[in-house]
Chains A and B, each alone.
Chain A
Amino acid sequence: MEALSANIKEDLKPPRVNIGIIGWVRANLFNGVFNSILTIVMLFLLWKTIPPLLQWAFIDSTWLAGSASCRQSPEGACWSIISKNFRFIIFGFYPYELQWRPLVAMIILFSLLFYSRNRNNWKKSLGYAWITGLILMGILMKGGLLGLKSVETTQWGGLPLTLLLAVFGLTAAYPLGVVLALGRQSKMKGVKVLSILYIELIRGVPLISLLFMSSIIFPLFLPEGITINKILRAQVAIILFTAAYIAEVVRGGLQGMTQGQYEAAEALGLNYYLTLRLVILPQALKIVIPPTVSILISAFKDTSLVVIIALFDLLKTTQSVLSNPEWMGFSREAYMFIAILYFAGCFSMSNYSRKLERELSRG
């Protein structure tokens, strides 16, 4: 018994300063003169900024009271601008008593997105679920069926509009982008030239100018009396724009495929369509997941540009609240709130792409 405990004692542990928290701190924060100085400076800056921020955001802040009491305590954040105008910021002009409908539509969308996260669920039934879900969301938003009161698209706004522009924009742009990338690689001269022309023309102009074209110049070309829905015009502009960028990213993936892959597929007797579907695209699209996601993220944020054509998306409803004299001047709080919403969207996208990459490289 004694001998045993003596044996254990002989097992020398590493010096305490090299393990545990202290060890980690030494290895990562103070492993050199320069890094030590940097750490101290950063700690000082954090100490200077974080406590006042917390004080401002949580302790001195006003959460529910009206704007008058906000103005009485100007040293704290005024989150009442969000709580008092919450439903307008989120739903825009959607009729007040019918706002449960876009809410349900968003819940359907989120649950579908959440369920689709897991690749094991990617079956035919999921496709049907999406189709049903989309139709259901459309009925909920538009109404006019099943005893629901009809709501004009001009009254759509806020978060549902942002999500609509983003989700439809991205899902429609992706296949279009893949087709364009294939077109650019095509051996058929006409297809190739058209694809190149399209991609370069669209990439050569900023999204804002496309939105302006679609909302101001395009209607003047239409015959009198015919108008095309404002949201649809913006949506098409976003799709066309994003597709051109995705096409170039996908082309990068296609070029990363060695000639051997094509030859092997040909040797197996696969035709063009099957070669792409079974051999080329699965590999090519996998390589380009990171750049694709960064394009999707920037496209998601770009939807906020529809502000300039006076569509009331999330950003515009917030700005509209800010121009009310009652709430003027609380722009910090309002913009922080929508920044958090946008961050949640973008962060979950990039998070998911990392997960997808891991899974695909493992399998």
Chain B
Amino acid sequence: MKLLKLSLMVLVLAIFAMTGMAQAGTLQEVQDKGFVQAGVNGGVFGFSMPDEKGIWKGIDADTARAVAAAVFGDANKVKFVALTAVQRLPALQSKEIDILCRNTTQTLTRETTNGLNFVHVNYYDGQGFLIPKKLGIKSAKELDGATVCVLPGTTTEMNAADFFRSNSMKWKPVVIEQTAELSKAFFGGRCDCLTSDVSQLAAHRSVAPNPDDYILLPEIISKEPLAPVVRHGDDQWYDIVNWTVMALIEAEEFGITSKNVDEMLKSKNPQIQRFLGVTPGMGKALGLDEKWAYNIIKQVGNYGEIFERTVGVNTPLGLERGLNELWTKGGIMYAAPLR
């Protein structure tokens, strides 16, 4: 018994000693191992999904690449690991990953009880309804008595229930586990409307036999600010990831793109000079190279470029900028000044 107690104590001490050693800070750890480990979804087109060559594509994947570009000056020094919805938070807590870019909605409980910090939002999503045009409905308020196709166990289902209850309407949910089956059921006519995040509805619509026969209703019934996530308690790393996202947005506002970034180095605008590290200071403040923002834009592009090539109007998703347009153009993408 004594032996058991003693060995237990040694074990506990050893674990404490090891945790003590591992307090170096995420930036240091990342630099030591030579790459950023990013958790992504793996199955959401436009956000993070492998293409037919196994290369990760999407707005979340590119955000992670931008962090790698800021830290290493090389956007390819990032390793992706696909995570399920249940795995994603423990993976971050157990330090298996350094950042989580997995279309995760920022909520109060996730930031507090789960010990996480969300950085600046990289996509504003919201839940909507997709209906066949022939239903002849103009507003979601007219959906009384409708059968609704929905994925189970997500906030989507609860949001829909809340929406119908608060408008005192009746609804019949048709719960279907698999995304592919969900769209099949909807286009097969099993339900009057399909509800999900708007970005997802766009993906569903793009595979319809005739996409023009379906429309999105104007009501957005939930707020889904999707943002990259880091652990609590490492402010320097939080700053780096946060300002990486800000830099993407700021660059678009300045009109700096991956194509003209080299010319912009000669710009007379002091804001741009600070941004690109011509006037030093910003990089040092973050603990990074002065060229950090230059590297991001040169290798990954600004927010608008990323948006257009992953989810924009010329992709199968065909999403409008909407809320994700710059604040100067009617959206709410607004970066704090880099100074």
In the complex, what's the smallest C-beta–C-beta distance from B85 to chain A, in angstroms? 10
Contact B95 A225 (CB under 8 A): yes
Closest to A92 in B: B54
Chain A proximity mask over B72-104: 1 for CB below 8 Å, otherwise 0: 000000011111101100110111100000000
Please name all residues of chain B whose beta carbon is closer than 8 Å to the beta carbon of A71 when the two chains form the complex: 209
The chain B residue with its CB closest to the CB of A93 is: B54
Q: Which of A94, A216, A223 contacts B87 (CB 8 A)?
A: A216
Question: Does chain B have a CB within 8 A of A174?
Answer: no
Partner of A88 from the list B21, B54, B180 (CB cut-off 8 Å) is B54
User: Hey, which chain B residues are within 8 Å of A323, CB to CB?
Assistant: 43-45, 49, 179-180
Contact yes or no, A152 B79, CB < 8 A: yes
Contacts of A326 in B (CB 8 A): 316
Which residues of the other chain, A, contact B317 by a CB distance below 8 angstroms?
A: 325
Given contacts A216-B90, A325-B203, contact A331 B181 (CB under 8 A): yes
The interface size of chain A toward B, counting residues with CB under 8 Å, comes to: 44
The CA of A87 and the CA of B94, in the complex, are separated in Å by 33
Give the residues in chain A near B87, CB-CB below 8 Å. 215-216, 309-310
Say yes or no: B83 contacts A310, CB within 8 Å.
Answer: yes
**Known contacts A87-B52, A319-B43, A325-B207, A224 near B316 by CB under 8 Å:** no
- List the B side residues contacting A325 at CB < 8 Å: 45, 203, 206-207, 316-317
A328 in contact with B180 given A225-B29, A227-B96, A230-B81 (CB within 8 Å): yes
Q: Does B310 contact A (CB under 8 A)?
A: no
In chain A, positions 77-117 with a C-beta closer than 8 Å to chain B are 84-85, 87-88, 91-96
User: Chain B 191-212, CB within 8 Å of chain A: the 1/0 string?
Assistant: 0000000000001101101000
CB distance from B247 to the nearest CB of A (A): 28
Tell whether, in the assembled complex, residue A322 and residue B180 are in contact, meaning their CB atoms are under 8 Å apart. yes
Interface membership of B281, Cβ < 8 A: no
CB–CB A324/B45 < 8 A:
yes
Question: A39 in the interface, Cβ–Cβ < 8 Å?
Answer: no
Q: Is B183 an interface residue (CB 8 A)?
A: yes
A319 to B84 alpha-carbon distance, docked (Å): 13
CB-contact partner of B86 in A152, A216, A225, A227, under 8 A: A216
- The docked-state distance in angstroms from the alpha carbon of A322 to that of B55 is 16
Nearest Cβ on chain B to A216's Cβ, whole angstroms: 5
Is A256 located at the chain interface by the 8 A CB criterion?
no
Is B176 an interface position by the 8 A CB rule?
Answer: no
Nearest chain B CB to A336's CB is how many angstroms away? Answer: 14
CB distance from A237 to the nearest CB of B (A): 14
- B84–A220 touching, CB < 8 Å: no
A222 in the interface (beta carbon within 8 A): yes
Does chain B have a CB within 8 A of A290? Answer: no
Do the beta carbons of B183 and A226 come within 8 Å of each other?
no
What residues on B are CB-neighbors of A88 within 8 Å?
A: 50-54
A312: chain B residues within 8 A (beta carbon): 42, 82
Q: Which of B1-60 contact A (CB under 8 A)?
A: 15, 18-19, 21-22, 29, 42-45, 49-55
CA distance A328 to B90 in the complex (A): 30
Contacts of B44 in A (CB 8 A): 323
Residue of A nearest to B210 (CB): A71
In the complex, what residues of B have CB within 8 A of residue A230's CB?
81
Q: Known: A322-B180, A329-B183. Contact between A219 and B90, CB under 8 A?
A: yes
**Bound complex: CA of A146 vs CA of B87, how far in Å?**
36
Per the bound structure, the CA–CA distance linking A155 and B45 in Å amounts to 19
Question: Contact: A94 with B54, CB < 8 Å?
Answer: yes
CA distance A230 to B82 in the complex (A): 11
Check B49–A324 contact: CB distance below 8 A: yes
Q: Is the CB of A309 within 8 A of B203?
A: no
Q: Which of B80, B96, B206 has the most CB of A within 10 A?
A: B96
Q: Find out whether the CB atom of B54 lies under 8 angstroms from the CB atom of A328.
A: no
Contacts of B183 in A (CB 8 A): 328-329
C-alpha gap A216/B90 in the complex (Å): 6
B209 contacts across to A, CB distance below 8 A: 71, 74
- CA–CA, A87 to B50, complex, Å? 12
Inter-chain contact B42/A310, CB cutoff 8 Å = yes
CB distance from A86 to the nearest CB of B (A): 9
Contacts of A152 in B (CB 8 A): 79
User: What is the CA–CA distance of A212 and B85 in the complex, to the nearest angstrom?
Assistant: 12
A320 within 8 A of B: yes
15 A-B residue pairs with Cβ-Cβ distance under 8 Å, sorted by A, are A152-B79, A154-B79, A154-B80, A219-B91, A220-B94, A222-B94, A225-B21, A225-B29, A227-B95, A310-B81, A310-B84, A323-B44, A323-B49, A325-B316, A331-B184
Hey, which bits of chain A sit against chain B, CB under 8 A? 71, 74, 84-85, 87-88, 91-96, 152, 154-155, 157, 212, 215-217, 219-220, 222-227, 230, 308-310, 312, 319-326, 328-329, 331
> Lowest 5 A-B CB distances belong to which pairs?
A225-B22, A219-B94, A223-B18, A325-B316, A328-B207
